[in-house]
A and B are shown apart, each in its own frame.
Chain A
Amino acid sequence: MSPMPTETRSTSPKLLATCAITAILFVIACKAIADAPREITMGLVQKIFYFHVPCAWLLMLSTLVCAGGSVAYLFGGSERGDRVAVASSELGVVFGLCVLVSGPLWAKAAWGVYWQWEARLTSSLLLWLMLVAYVLARRYGGAAARRLAAALALFAAIDIPLVYFSVRFFRSIHPSNTVVSTLVPGMRGAFWLSLLAFTALWWVLFSTRMATENAYARLVDLEILLDQAEEKNA
C-alpha cells in the first residue's frame, strides 16, 4: 500500500511534454506524408498506408503489452500488471478498429473487394475480437473476471506471430512484410515519421489511462487509511 500522499497532482508535466512532442510529430509527419511521392498505380489512396500500418503495429504492441501485464498479474499477483493490461487492451481495441476500417477502405480501391478471408486479415480480425472479448470478460466475467481476462490475453498474444508472419507463410493478396524496406526515400521518411508519431500517441493515451487506474487504486488506499484513522479515534 502506498504511503500517505503529500501532494496532489494535476496533469503531470512529463505528460504535457509528451503531448506536445506528439503534436509536433504529427504535424511533421503530416507534412512529410503530403510531400511524399504518389505511388504510381494507386495514387492518393495509397497514402492510407501511412495510417494503416502504424495502427496495425500498435494493435500488436497493445496485445503484447497486455499479455506482459497479464503474466505479471496472473503469476506475480502484480496489481500494476493488471492495470497495464487493462489500459493496453482498450488501446488495442481502438487501434485495431482503425486497422480493420482503414484496411478495407484501401482494399476496395486496390483489390476491388472490401474483404478477403486470407491469412493476415483473418488473423488480425481474430486478434481484435480477442481484445474485445478481453474487455467484455473484465466487465461481465464475475468474480474471476481479471484472471479470466488475463488468461485470454495470453492466448491472444499467440496470435501476434500469426498475424505478422502469415503473409510470409501463406500466399496472399495482402502486401508482404518486406514492403517497408523497399520504399523509395521520400516515402520511407514519411512512413517512419508516421510510425513514430502514432507510437507517441499510443504512449500518451496509455499513460493517461494508467494514470486513471493508478488514481483509482490510490483512492482505495486512501479510503482504507481513512477508515483506519476513524477506528483509532473511535
Chain B
Amino acid sequence: MNERHLRVAKVCKSYGRQRALVDVSLTFAPGQVAAIVGPNGAGKTTLLGILSTLAKPTSGEILLADQPFIRDPAARRTIGYVGHEPGVYPDLSARQNLRIFASLYALTDAETRITAMLERVDLADVRSDLPARAYSRGMLQRLALARALLHGPKILLFDEPSSALDPVGVRWLSEELLRERDAGSLVILVTHDLDAAAQVAGHLVVIRRGRVAMDRTEPSGFSATQVRALYEEALRDR
C-alpha cells in the first residue's frame, strides 16, 4: 500500500518573508515517473531540495513508507540526484570520479560496477586519463547520471537535467528515466520542457507560486497535448 511511497505532507518553506512553498502535499509512487512543472520561481527546485534531504522544510514533513524521511546517511543512500550541473570533479576522469563515489557509498565490487555503469552511459571508450573538464556537455550529463545511479538508489531526483542538452541527449535521458522506472525506482523529474515531461511522465504535478496547482496521475501516460492543456488550466487564474 504505502510501502516505498514518498509522501510530502503539508510542507511549507519560507525564507524570511518569502514563501517558496505553501502547504504542498503530494504522494509519489515507485515504478513511476513524476514530472513537476511550473513557471520559473514557482518553487520546484526548492521542493526537490527538500526531497533530497539537503534542505529542511519550515513546517510539514516528508515520509517514506510512512517513516519520516530525514537527513541521515541511511536516507541519503537511497537517493540519486542529477541537477543541471553534473556534480563531478572536473580534474578527474570519469573512472576516477566514479571510484571516489563508490568509496563514499562504500560499494562492494566497485570496479565491476563502475565498468558496467560506464558502458551503460556509453563513456567506456573515453580516454582514461582525460579529465572531466574536457568532456562535452552531453558527456558530462552522462557521467552525472552514472554518478547518480552507481549506488543503486531507489529514489531518483532530476532537476532540469536536459537543459543544455541536444535533442539526441534529451531522448537518451528520457529513455534512461523510463528504464529506471521499469526497474521499480521512484523517479521525480523537475522540468520546464513540457514535451519531455509528456514523453516520460505517468504523474504530472504543476507548481505555481509555491502551491500545488495540479496533481494528476495517468498510468498510461500523457500525450503532449494533454500535458499542455493541463498546464494551461493549472495556470489559469480562477
Contact = CB atoms under 8 A, between A and B. Distances in A.
- Chain A residues touching B, majority SS: helix
B110 to A, nearest CB: 34
A234 B238 contact: yes
B212 to A, nearest CB: 12
A21 B17 CA distance: 36
Interface string A218-234: 00100110010000001
B18 to A, nearest CB: 9
Nearest to B59: A1
B16 interface: yes
Nearest to A146: B16
User: Which label, helix, strand, loop or mixed, suits the secondary structure of the B interface?
Assistant: loop
A220 B58 CA distance: 13
A223 B238 contact: no
Contacts of A224: 14, 19
Interface in A177-234: 220, 223-224, 227, 234
A234 B238 CA distance: 8
B17 A220 contact: yes
Contacts of A234: 238
B19 to A, nearest CB: 7
Interface in A6-43: none
A197 to B, nearest CB: 36
Contact of B16 (A77, A220, A227): A220
Interface in B183-227: none
Contacts of A227: 19, 22
B20 to A, nearest CB: 12
Interface in B14-50: 14, 16-17, 19, 22
A148 B159 CA distance: 27
Contacts of A77: 56
Contacts of A220: 14, 16-17
B41 to A, nearest CB: 15
A227 B19 CA distance: 11
Interface of A: 77, 220, 223-224, 227, 234
10 contacts: A77-B56, A220-B14, A220-B16, A220-B17, A223-B17, A224-B14, A224-B19, A227-B19, A227-B22, A234-B238
Interface of B: 14, 16-17, 19, 22, 56, 238
Given A220-B14, A220-B17, A224-B19, 7 more contacts: A77-B56, A220-B16, A223-B17, A224-B14, A227-B19, A227-B22, A234-B238
